[in-house]
Structure 1
Amino acid sequence: MDKVHDTTYRVRPEVSVTGLGQKVIEFIEVEVTCDVSRVKPAADIYWRKGPDGPLQTGTTSSGLNQDGKTFHLQSIYKESFTRNDRNTKLYCLVTRHGNNTDVWATANQTISVA
C-alpha cells in the first residue's frame, strides 16, 4: 500500500520544550515554546503544569515540512509563575486530532523560580 496516501500511516513526532532553561522571575510572564517536528498526520498540542494539572492550550502554528509528507507544529504558552511552582514540570503533550486523552508524545521542562 502506498503510505503517502494511506491516512493511517503514522510518524512518531520529535518534541522539545524551550524557555524555562534558566530561572524565571516570580510574577513576570514568560514564553515557553513547544516544537514538534516530523509528525504525520498533524496533531493537537496541549500544555499541563504538573502531572495532574488541567489541560491548557497555547498559540499553535503548523506547516508542512520540506519532505511534503510530515508536519512541523509549534505552540507558544505564556504564564507567570510563583515560588509555589518551583520544581514543577511544565509538559507539552502532543495528541492525535480530536482525542486529548491519547498522548502520542510529550516533552517537559522544570520550572525554576528566582
Structure 2
Amino acid sequence: MVRPEGVSVTGLGQRVKENTEVEVTCDVSRVKPAADIFWRKGPDGPLQTGTTSIGTNSDGKTCHLQSTYKVSFSRNDRNTKLYCLVTRPGNRTDVWATANQTVSVTCEYRHSRL
C-alpha cells in the first residue's frame, strides 16, 4: 500500500455566489491501491461522494485519482471548509490524506421598496 503523495482541491475560486451550484475537483497523486474519495462540508458534515476517475501514473504501479463534486453554499456556509478525504478502499474511517479549501460566500441582497 502506498499513501497519496499529494491531494489538492480546486474550483471554488475567490468567492462563491450563494445558492449557486459549483463543481469542485480533488486530485490525488501516486496512491496504491486506488483509494476512496469522500467530500464533507465543514468538519462535521455528512460524507458525500463525487464522480471519480482513475488513471495509472507513468511508473505503472501507482494511481492518479480525480473526483468531481457539485455543491452549493448558503450564507450560513460563509468561511466553511470543504474537505476532500482520501480513505483506504472499503474503510471510510481510515483517512489517508485530506485537503480542504475555505469557502467565501457572496450573498444576494434584495432591496425592496415600501
Q: TM-score, with normalisation over the residues of structure 2?
A: 0.89
Asked whether 1:83 is paired with 2:67, we answer no
> Where does structure 2 lack aligned partners over 5 or more consecutive residues?
107-114
The structure 2 residue matched to 1:105, chosen from 80, 93, 97, is: 97
Contact 2:2 2:30 in 1 (8 A): no
Q: How many residues align?
A: 106
Relative distance call for 1:47 and 1:16 in structure 2 (3 A) is same
The percentage of counterpart residues that share the same residue type is 79
Give the distance between the partners of 2:3 and 2:105, measured in 1 at CA: 36
The structure 2 residue matched to 1:17, chosen from 9, 24, 49, is: 9
The structure 1 residue matched to 2:47, chosen from 55, 58, 81, is: 55
SS of equivalent to 2:17: coil
Give the distance between the partners of 1:51 and 1:61, measured in 2 at CA: 25
Contact 2:82 2:101 in 1 (8 A): yes
The structure 1 residue matched to 2:21, chosen from 26, 29, 33, is: 29
Tell which structure's C-alpha radius of gyration is larger: 2
RMSD: 1.0
Asked whether 1:66 is paired with 2:50, we answer no
Give the distance between the partners of 1:22 and 1:61, measured in 2 at CA: 26
For residues 67-104 of structure 1, give each alpha carbon's deviation from its aligned partner in whole angstroms, at most 9, with x where no partner exists.
Answer: 10110000001011111111010000000000000000
Asked whether 1:45 is paired with 2:34, we answer no
> Where does structure 1 lack aligned partners over 5 or more consecutive residues?
1-8
Q: TM-score, with normalisation over the residues of structure 1?
A: 0.89
